[in-house]
Amino acid sequence: MQEYFTTSQAAKICGVSVASIIRWIRDGRLKCVKTLGGHRRITREDLQSFIESIGIAGLPSDSGKLNAPKILIVEDDPAESKLMVQAIRLDFPDVQIESVTNGFDAGWQLKELRPDIVLLDLNIPGINGYEVCKRIETDRNLTHTHVIIVTGESRDSKKLVDLKYDDFLGKPFSISDLSGKVAAFLPITSKQGGLSA
């Protein structure tokens, strides 16, 4: 999966100001992509190539991601899962993301990852999303975990009445709605990092 850096992160890695990074981008020396919100993002590969071309130290290892906020996506549709991962990575490059397609794997990842946010499709194979949601509610190790239900069902559905969750995202959803829901439950430092220029 592609990894992206904000201009602030790139500046820190290169030991220069954000203004220098933006100037290099404008001059065409450093490649970048833009999010739907207009924020610049630089791929790891492009930043590494640029760093090598100007002869400064290489990129740090991924060890810093161990303490990064964690998101678990539970979605059985591969296309939707991929879309969510890419959208979140662009807007919040510091976040660690894992995705699974069924309730059994969700249970395993909840135990191993202890995510800050779970994007949970209710209609998944095996142990369904309702059961996964109830497990999160009763697990003392997941009291910090925020659940965002992602479903094509109506928010007024009787099935949802007994579930405890933090937010709701109806399908089909827009990328901006997804980013907004995720941003609401990320630690402040991650929001700031994710919304840089």
Residue from 60, 28, 21 nearest 44 by CA: 60
* CATH code of domain 4-60: 1.10.1660.10
**Positive or negative CA dihedral for 72, 138, 129, 131?**
positive
Class of domain 64-194: alpha beta
Strand spans (E) along 20-116? 33-34, 40-43, 70-74, 96-100
Residue from 20, 113, 127 nearest 72 by CA: 113
pLDDT in tens, the chain (197 residues): 567 888 888 887 877 778 888 989 998 999 999 887 788 899 888 988 888 777 665 565 554 454 678 999 999 999 999 999 888 988 888 788 888 998 888 988 898 888 999 999 988 887 888 899 999 999 999 999 999 999 888 777 777 778 889 999 999 999 999 999 999 998 754 444 444 44
Specify the pTM: 0.65
What whole-number distance in Å separates Cα of residue 15 and Cα of residue 95?
A: 22
Per domain, the residue ranges of the chain are 4-60, 64-194
Q: Do the strands 4-5 and 40-43 form a parallel or antiparallel pair, or are they unpaired?
A: antiparallel
- At residue 101's C-alpha, the angle toward residues 121 and 141, to 5°, is 70
User: At 115, is the secondary structure helix, strand, or coil?
Assistant: coil
What whole-number distance in Å separates Cα of residue 128 and Cα of residue 47?
A: 41
Q: What is the pLDDT of residue 160?
A: 79
- Identical fold for domains 4-60 and 64-194, yes or no, is no
Going by the DSSP 8-state scheme, the letter that residue 179 receives in this structure is H
Q: Treating both helix axes as pointing N-terminal to C-terminal, what angle do 18-26 and 7-14 enclose, rounded to 10 degrees?
A: 110
User: At 43, is the secondary structure helix, strand, or coil?
Assistant: strand
